Amino acid sequence: MNKFKNFAINLKEILNEEDIRIDEPMKYHTSFKVGGPADILITPRNFQQVIDVIKFCKKNNVPFYIMGNGSNLLVKDGGIRGIIIKLIKLNHIIVEGNKIISESGASLKEISAAALNSSLTGIEFACGIPGSVGGAVTMNAGAYNGEISHIIESAKVIDNFGEVRVLDRDELKLGYRMSSILMYGYTVLEVTFNLKNGEYEKIKNRIDDLNRRRSQKQPLEYASAGSTFKRPEGHFAAKLIEDSGLKGENVGDAQVSEKHSGFIINRGNATASDILNLIKIVQHRVKEKFNVDLYTEVRIIGED
């Protein structure tokens, strides 16, 4: 039974009614295409709505979770109690000189396109990362020798007191898949990137090359959350998994990709439990063979 359902009535004082969904299956909101229902899922349209909802949740002891487009998220089959705040409608992007100011729900692909259109270079590495800006900053997303810490100037966040703060690059404490936002549970509202002037054709060629390489090496034809595991110090997760004989290993329709063993994919009808059980098998086998601990890069939330 959805014990938080009655809170939807209160949320109508803050949000548009069409932006509130009750018992919403999370499989429609994650790139893994799995996950049970969220008690309430909302899609705010502006910063003030986000602030007001967070304050409402804190005041009423309602658990809440912030998400972007769900590209690095695994929701368990039992779903999520409380309120999911999905920031996908906060997606405005402004280009001012060599700076790009983006709301947190915009995708990295959209930011890359905006940079290309303005002949700004530095963010090409992110052209194929499927995440949103907020999630990318929270996890300091990176690829192909680039990462968010190289190009970010500041981030506007909501702190744990419901106050809006602007954190500069140093205050963000960006490290490998880590930030002060993740450490302290802040919510990203807006990000300012500082890029450099470049040549349109060179930028486009770089983006085309990276997209081609992704297509050749990654199982983009299947549902997944990208790289399932963090890179262990001194190793590459994909090589450890492949050398453990796990390429193609499956639990139901969850499978270690035969194209790139760093990815666990949903071949069509996997459940979150299938994926979680396969993650455990991979972790156990790699630990047994190489004495290396693998930790998930994908964020796992919800109830069994």
Is 297 among the residues known to form the active site?
yes
* Among 227, 244, 257, 261, the one annotated catalytic: 227
Q: Single out the residue of 260, 264, 258 nearest to residue 276, CA to CA.
A: 264
Is 17 among the residues known to form the active site?
no
* Among 102, 132, 177, 180, the one annotated catalytic: 177
Q: Single out the residue of 89, 38, 90, 34 nearest to residue 64, CA to CA.
A: 38
CA distances from 76 to 39, 262, 275 (A): 13, 21, 9
Show the tokens assigned to 152. Answer: 């970010």
Is 154 among the residues known to form the active site?
no
- What separation, in Å, do the N-terminal and C-terminal C-alpha atoms of the chain show? 15
Which residues does the annotation mark as catalytic? 177, 227, 297
